[in-house]
Amino acid sequence: MTEGEKKPARVVVADDQTVVREGIVMLLGLLPGVEVVGAAGDGEEAVRLVAELSPDVVLMDLRMPRCDGVEATRRIRSEYPGTQVVVLTTFADDESLFPALRAGARGYLTKDAGGDEIVRAVESVLSGDAGLSPSIQRRLLERLSQPEPVPVATEAPDGLTARETEVLVLIAEGLTNQEIARKLHVSTATVKTHINNLFAKTGLKDRAQAVRYAYGKGLVRPPAD
């Protein structure tokens, strides 16, 4: 390396699909500015390789056995803060995107990203910026531009938790379980659990009763004329 030339970024690739993982490693091997120092087949192995190799960046898939990409990201950023994480996944939905960013990922790309885009993301996170694909940036802007529901009542009735009250308000606004899950960034199973709990506490039997209850308790207000 000549004086003044930048050292290549040391990268670990984590993906449970062998063909995909090997393809990414091969692609990165052809690109300047990147040196692949390890490849992992799941999140557990990714964390282990980070401990052994101290890479600059992990390119992290999300859906992996034993330890998924979100949990692996959380552990790496907590235990090895010198290593950044760029998610490289098939999924760009809210239930994949926001947990990964909250876990500490600084970049997020989908697997249709080209080699140049991957290198730019790696360079961005190493310089302290976010390495987000244009489609992910648009998704974040859309999400941030959505108004959050404003609670009307100061106290939740019938011993409802804040989350159960929030779910009740969204039911009253006409959202389905799937829409509530996306808005709150939780699974539909979690939404169903909250609904079962709030129904048990309030004695409600269906969504129609829940809507009437929410209006009756002042949790939501009718739209102004």
φ/ψ of residue 125, rounded to 5: -70, -30
Taking Cα atoms as reference points, which of 120, 123, 194 lies closest to residue 160?
194
Each residue's pLDDT tens digit, 26-50: 999 988 889 999 999 999 999 999 9
Q: What is the pTM of this model?
A: 0.62
Same domain for 164 and 197, yes or no, is yes
Number of structural domains the chain divides into: 2
Low-confidence winner among 113-117, 134-138, 154-158, 164-168 (lowest mean pLDDT): 154-158
Beta bridge partners of 38: 12
- Residue with the bigger pLDDT between 148 and 182: it is 182
Same domain, 131 and 167: no
Q: Can you give the pLDDT at residue 65?
A: 87
Q: So what's the pLDDT on residue 174?
A: 85
- Whether 219 shows a pLDDT value over 50: the answer reads yes
Say if residue 76's pLDDT is above 60: yes
85 has pLDDT over 70: yes
Q: Which CATH number belongs to the domain containing residue 58 in this structure? A: 3.40.50.2300
149 located within any domain? no
- Cα separations (Å) of 218 from 107, 137, 167, 172, 214? 42, 37, 15, 11, 6
In the chain, beta strands by DSSP E: 9-14, 34-40, 57-60, 84-89, 107-110, 131-132
Position 84, amino acid = Q
Q: Are 111 and 185 found together in one domain?
A: no
Residues 47 and 84 in one domain: yes
Q: Which of 102, 118, 144 marks a domain boundary?
A: 144
Structure confidence by residue, pLDDT tens digits, 150-201: 444 445 678 888 889 989 989 988 889 988 988 888 888 889 999 999 999 9
Range of the domain at 28: 9-144
Q: Reply yes or no on whether the pLDDT at 148 is more than 60.
A: no
